[in-house]
Amino acid sequence: MFLAKTLNQTGANWKITIPDVQKLIIEREAPKQSSWLSRFGESNQLFKAIFKRFKDDSGLKAKYGFGDYHSYETIMKYLDDVERGYPNIAKTFIAGKSAEGRPLKGIKIGNPISSTDKRVIWIDGGIHAREWAAVHTALWFIHQLISTYEIDSTTRSFIDSLSFYILPLANPDGYEFSRDDITPLHRLWRKNRGDIRCKLDLRWNFDFHWAETGSSTERCSEVFQGDTAFSEPESRAIRDMLMSPELHGKTDAFITLHTYAQMWIHPYSNQERTYPEDVQDLREVGLNGVAALEKDYGTAYRFGTGADILYPSSGGSDDWAKGVAKVKYVYLLELRPADEVWDGFLLDPRQLIPTGKETWDGIKVVVQAVLDRARANRPELSPSIITTTTTPPPTTTTVPWWKTSTTQKTTTRRVYVTRIY
């Protein structure tokens, strides 16, 4: 093997982490003729019951094949079905168009749907093409909101008092390119599909300390930031939505979903030990969210700024949302699996629903914090009798925020073309 020979000649230490990436892609994601249930084993009664619930959910007016990955077209159809099935609480919106002309379609959920004076929760996923599980998780949030509105008092209070704007697929061109072929070049594609050579990483294309650190000026780098901030229609679409009269000054939570590393990140990530003035609020709500997430399956998350627990990086949408759009609660979540593994972008479909469930339980803590603030400012939003549930403190030992840069920081940067968050 030429690469092995070259590495040996240079004296570099190396090891093979995935013997055949394309084979792994085929094993996990190639279309199956058998049912989704067969992946768990036909004799497994527990998974049969779970599968039956999601397959035969006759009460739902909009259905989606949760527990598997689907195309842009299928995702857009689901959003349209949600709007048609739940017109009183759901309405699609178009944030803009991608470089290749695909509508950046999302869904607004709230009651009444016509209201534009309520506090807002913004959620997006899939800004990196290969992070399919983030897209699935954003769609799971939509499913939870519409499917439990009539039966769960907490969900009803969320939808009646707040407005959710969810953009499940922020980079549809890159996403479809990653689905076009089973080769690693396609499946592990990260960037958008704009006009410039080698395309660019949308995550670092936002105008907050843009191009200072963590990204690259090299066009063919995985983390090329673009020639200017907001050079791409996809990043401009998110900016224009957040700064529109409908959302600007009203958005109290900005959640952006990524994979992978099991990290709950708050601003600012452009420099170590750099925090907003209200960092204590961000930490209190965020750590309670982590505790709620971990309670489901014991999935352990790290918490802090990206600079403190990972590495400094600037121009991110989350830092921009906090520093420029002035959103109160801003979090970037790196979902399953943990960063010790190397195949995390190819998350086994069997983990999709558990990932969605635990993440939603964590995000509900953020939503509740927004609702509590809204009720404090507008008492008419409070019910006559309020039943509150106190989220337990984190069960794991949490390092104080002023020490995160020295005790939680990842000390090893792995150089690998498919291993950049």
335 alpha-carbon distance from chain centroid: 7
The answer to whether residues 317 and 128 touch, using CB atoms and an 8 Å cutoff, is no
- Counting Cβ atoms within 10 Å, is residue 280 exposed (0-12), middle (13-18) or buried (19+)? exposed
Catalytic residue among 284, 334, 340, 358: 334
Nearest to 359 by CA among 173, 174, 125: 125
Residues 228, 107, 330, 356, CA torsion sign: negative
- Counting Cβ atoms within 10 Å, is residue 384 exposed (0-12), middle (13-18) or buried (19+)? exposed
User: Is 334 one of the annotated active-site residues of the chain?
Assistant: yes
List the Cα angle 391/396/400 in 5-degree steps.
95
At which residue do the structure tokens 């379609």 appear?
A: 105
3-class DSSP string for the chain: CHHHHHHHHHCCCCCCCCCCHHHHHHHHHCCCCCCHHHHCCCCCHHHHHHHHHHHCCCCCCCCCCCCCCCCHHHHHHHHHHHHHHCCCCEEEEEEEECCCCCEEEEEEECCCCCCCCCEEEEEEECCCCCCHHHHHHHHHHHHHHHHHCCCCHHHHHHHHHEEEEEECCCCHHHHHHHHCCCCHHHHCCCCCCCCCCCCCCHHHCCCCCCCCCCCECCCCCCCECCCCCCCCHHHHHHHHHHCCCCCCCCEEEEEEEEEEECEEECCCCCCCCCCCCCHHHHHHHHHHHHHHHHHHHCCCCEEECHHHHCCCCCCCHHHHHHHCCCCCEEEEEEEEEECCCCCHHHCCHHHHHHHHHHHHHHHHHHHHHHHHHHHHHCHHHCCCCCCCCCCCCCCCCCCCHHHHHHHCCCCCCCCCCCCCC
Determine the length of the chain. Answer: 421
- Residues acting as catalytic residues: 334
